[in-house]
Structure 1
Amino acid sequence: MAQEPFAAVDVIRAKRDGDRLSDEQISWVVDAYTRGAVAEEQMSALAMAIFLRGMDTAEIARWTGAMIDSGERLSLAVSRPTVDKHSTGGVGDKITLPLAPLVAACGAAVPQLSGRGLGHTGGTLDKLEAIPGWRAALSTAEITRQLTDVGAVVCAATPSLAPADRKLYALRDVTATVESIPLIASSIMSKKIAEGSAGLVLDVKAGSGAFMKTRAQARELARTLVEIGTAHGVATTALLTDMSVPLGSAVGNAVEVAEAVEVLRGGGPADVVELTLALAREMLALAGIDTDPAAALADGRAYETWCRMIRAQDGDPDAPLPKPRHVHVVEAERTGTLTKLDAYAVGVAAWRLGAGRSRKEDPVQLAAGVRCLVKPGARVEAGQPLLELHTDTPDAVPTALESLRGGVVVAEPEHSDAPAPGGGIVFETVRG
């Protein structure tokens, strides 16, 4: 067996002590982890050291390059301009579901390689698997064919695409290292650059339900992502968006699919429609397509494309979605105004109900989740339903309710300082 050029413990120690890792150290440790020469516990320690000590721009660039080099790059031989979108993760963030078919209906090709639930945020693949028959795993040939025939595909990354990221993505979830800007940026951009899209729009979220809690953190991440994309020749734009309140009314798997279909049929919550159209306009601009995506929602083209996209992956868009075995209603304890509906609290509640996973190998409940019946700023009466908790395991309800403690607040009218309903969800744009 050939001698390894570095020892993992030396790389871990260097980053633990705040040193800059060399290009050679980074290239080796990512490759060695991918092939199993660096153990899970060693990469866990290195991920925590990176989380605590950070990385400079050059380190992040090399780490991203090493992740790309761990696998193959897709060559998307399609006639349409290719453009993709990625969200940094939020609560109730089902935007990919209506967005991909909407942008495809307007003439672009959208190769959306998505992931599964990470922490308190849901995973796009978990949501789509609530559709009977739908499959996430596609070959490169299937992806290319679907992009040609339909214009949109939402699927899992192929096994050959950034395999280092697949291992590290799951590891971060269970080692409290998700919220690291270098690890988030390299994870996102290694997959997106390797998948071969010419343009990329990023939805970088800020707020309690996001991994970036403050707008300053979100702005730093957005700039890092845009810099990486631009350096690799991918036209990249980032929208900074609010994630202090759950997006839309549905949080979970099947419930979010149902809400996405409402949007595709010309309805749905105003905030979901607003963000879907904002991202669609940026994607179409990068693709060089001058058209109004709102028209494709209104005239049914986006919904038709959705149905074709789901059927192409063996799903039945007309089949009933899974229903929960148990629904618990959370009622207002007093008359007043809903002053707080904390995204993180709702996300954790949905996770506890079974919509998410605590360990990377855990299954999820397709019917689990939360329906938010009232938005902050609304007047409510004592006894009025505020939330519905959906689960197949009623024993999970008490822990979900504990997660909501302090996150859902109704104030007496004279003490209410709730914001007025409305306001834009996009608060900044970062361009390359």
Structure 2
Amino acid sequence: MRCEYFDDGRCRSCTFLRTPYPEQLATKVRARRELLTSVPAGAWLEPVASADEGFRNKAKMVVAGRTGAPTLGILDPAGAGVDLRGCHLYPPPITEALPVVADMIARAGLVPYDVPGRRGELKHVLVTVSPAGELMMRFVLRSRDQLGRIRRHLPRLLSDLPNLAVVTVNLLPAHVALLEGEEEIVLTERSALPMRLSLPGGPLDLELPPRSFFQTNTAIAEAMYGQAAAWAAEIGPGTAWDLYCGVGGFALAVAKVGTGAGEGATADATVGAGAARSPRVVGIESSPDAVAGARAAAARGGVADRVTFADGDATAWALASSSGAPDLVVVNPPRRGLSEELAGRLEGSGAGHVLYSSCNATTLARDLGRMPSLAPVAARLFDMFPHTAHDEVMVLLERV
């Protein structure tokens, strides 16, 4: 991928852009195998590569510049705006929308937030695209002061962008290095973005509310959920937990095993002799908005009778659970990994299998060491973030 922003030094976020992509992927695979020494060499499946451009489903644009002439992109070391509307990491629905929203910001007279001066109103514009090409757009403001201007200019924005399905305003009053605040104001009739994913055994329908997490790379997310469904089909769990479940991707993929979705998926390795059946799944997530989206997706997908989602801390819930050990536990923690208490709970739980999805191989290696009774039997790297040192690794553990 060639990038004019990288070539002229305006943006260096894609650290390894000048390294050929096959070499990037090979380097990641080698690094993960060297770090995760408890995973046998024969347990590693072929890595899942990404497209090297147009793969990011979410644009997190810092708004800077001046009233009438905003920039959408990043800040330079001095805090000035660097416009990146043409960034090649985004697919066409996003790159086509960014100039339109910049024109709307200028026309409405919205005041970009000046980070060094700590003044202004509009901090970020966050744009997410669904597999169907629909958009969710969120304006992050310091206060309600310019909310009325956005409301007045919303009809034209919706007319100019017919694929714009959800528009919100998020309030972030504090001068902090965060993307969003706690309060969300929905300005459209629809309040969540449908995400229909393609898995080998059939579609997986998710609902993405504004303040909820979804994997940045949709194609890689599909591959990860497909792998989880394939492993679950081979294990044949009757019960499962999905801790840190987000909007329910893993939980719903596992719940659909035995109903069509998940059947036909290819795991590339035999991990057990269990026959596919439809398990009962509990998903735990600390974000109430994400839980609401997961519940809506379960109802929409016809599995609400088999999947229960609850709002709570994963560690506290697992420690307090009196329901006995499930057959399968899925964990997809943040970069800090599992707490020592949760790793200990899983180690002593009696659960037959644990599927660990990690965005930080260093904490993954630490956590695998904390669960010696659970042996890695399959592992796979998913290249979620080309041109960077980051990736996702999924490891299937089996009790020995």
**Both structures adopt the same fold (TM-score exceeding 0.5):** no
> RCO (CA 8 Å, sep 6+): is it higher in 1 or 2?
1
Q: TM-score, normalised by structure 2?
A: 0.26
Q: TM-score, normalised by structure 1?
A: 0.24
Identify the structure with the greater strand proportion: 2
Identify the structure with the greater helix proportion: 1
